[in-house]
Amino acid sequence: MKTLPSLTAALLIVASPLAYGEDWTRFRGPEGSGVAAASGSIPTELSKGNTRWEIDLKGGGHSSPVTFGDKLFYTVTPAKAPEHREVVCVQVSDGEELWRTRFGFNKYKMHQFNSPSSTSPTADAERVYVWWNDGKESEVFALDHAGKEVWKKALGKFESSHGGGSSVALADDVLIVQKENLSDDSFIVGLDSKTGKERWKKNLPAELKTPYTTPVIREIESSKEAIFVSTDNGFFSIDTKTGKDRWTFDCKFEHRVVASPVISGNSILAYCGGGGGGKDSIVIDAAPGATEVTERYRLRRTLPYVPTGLGIKGRWFLVNDGGVGTCYDVASGNQLWHERLVGKCFASLIAVGNHIYVFGRDGDYHIYEAADMFKSITKGELGAGIHATPIIAEGKLIVRTDEKLLCFHKGTDA
């Protein structure tokens, strides 16, 4: 097994955390890491006494909210108008609704655990971006921060037996859409975020199993790379400015990829599964700027399928769909511990400083330390199902349940 000379140093790198006052602009926060800096305002007791505000969603959906400044954006399928989907904007500080923009769509077949509002938006200082489909066609569009349409672009056929799921990602002024699907119109595209015009496009073979991953973004030299993974097309990296391949690697996966890639230093983890459980995984060495990558090892035990894990402190922290958490050493792949955390689980892990938060499908939660030995901080119940990954915004923890948005914050500052 080949080991890069820089591996040891790379494992000392901790994922760059989101600092207080920064924005959670995409699925799993900055560059898709799921990591926020420690904050004394984010409670570990998710009780009524630590609730800053809560609002009724007025509908369903599994997408995660995103924020820019004091604006929080989320998507929802209205309970009273199920043939529509909405983009909603509320204030982070108090939950006050600012606007709600509605779009019609044709109902379509999807997995029983999916939702028409399952893809998370992304946001920047001027716009919020959404990509979704109706089972046959797909489109991506941008709204300004007042909810007015700026541009819209049709992306053609989207065929999947399970519906949509991948979310868009921004790299500077390039909006990246991973439209891998069962049709012969399968591709990844980079769009100008201001106009929606195509900057570059990578055509791909039709997938036998539609992936539901969201790319992670990493700095390379004077540019950035977007890292993707799917069943048939494997691991690959694209320069976000040019759309050119940086490297590719055939994972030889046989099962569907749902979770997004996880990065720890130069190591990148991906896994696949089906039928409610993880089936296979791979860890590769891929230093920023590399043009060739190397397989290091495969994890085999207690693998996730849907929830995306964390790569921090030279450790993989994972939770599988059955709610069992594991910790692996990144350097060796050795398992350090495994513990029951919650019941069934779809939401991805997030970390706040040294604390990891996991939420179960029945509304249970568990907070524990990011450490080599398992140490529980607290656990409890929120009283409603949770399918969406929570977010950190302005020193607040915001959790989307099946019924409400809950904002948790302790202290007197806003």
DSSP for 20-73, written as a single string: TT----STTSGGG--EE---TTS-SS-SGGGEEEEEE-SEE--PPPEEETTEEE
β-strand partners of 226: 217, 238
Average pLDDT over residues 262-274: 96
Q: Which residue has the higher pLDDT, 80 or 281?
A: 281
Q: What is the pTM of this model?
A: 0.93
Q: Does some domain include residue 185?
A: yes
pLDDT surpasses 50 at 102: yes
What is the domain extent for residue 35? Answer: 21-212
Percent of the chain with pLDDT over 70: 92
| pLDDT confidence of residue 181 | 85
Q: Does some domain include residue 118?
A: yes
Q: Does some domain include residue 107?
A: yes
Q: Which residue has the higher pLDDT, 337 or 206?
A: 337
Q: Does some domain include residue 122?
A: yes
The Cα–Cα gap between 58 and 402 comes to 10
pLDDT tens track for 23-45: 999 999 999 999 999 888 999 99
Q: Does some domain include residue 61?
A: yes
| pLDDT confidence of residue 18 | 62
pLDDT tens track for 215-245: 999 999 889 999 999 998 999 999 999 999 9
| pLDDT confidence of residue 19 | 57
Q: How confident is the model at residue 112 (pLDDT cuts 50, 70, 90)?
A: low
| pLDDT confidence of residue 209 | 87
Q: Which residues contact 100 (CB under 8 A, 6 or more apart)?
A: 86, 87, 88, 89, 147
- When divided into structural domains, the chain yields a total of 1
Q: Longest C-alpha distance within the chain, in Å?
A: 59
Q: Does some domain include residue 302?
A: no
Q: Does some domain include residue 25?
A: yes
pLDDT surpasses 60 at 14: no
pLDDT surpasses 90 at 358: yes
Tokens 């007015």 belong to 148
Q: Does some domain include residue 331?
A: no
| pLDDT confidence of residue 381 | 96
Percent of the chain with pLDDT over 90: 75
Indicate which CATH number applies to the domain containing 57: 2.40.128.630
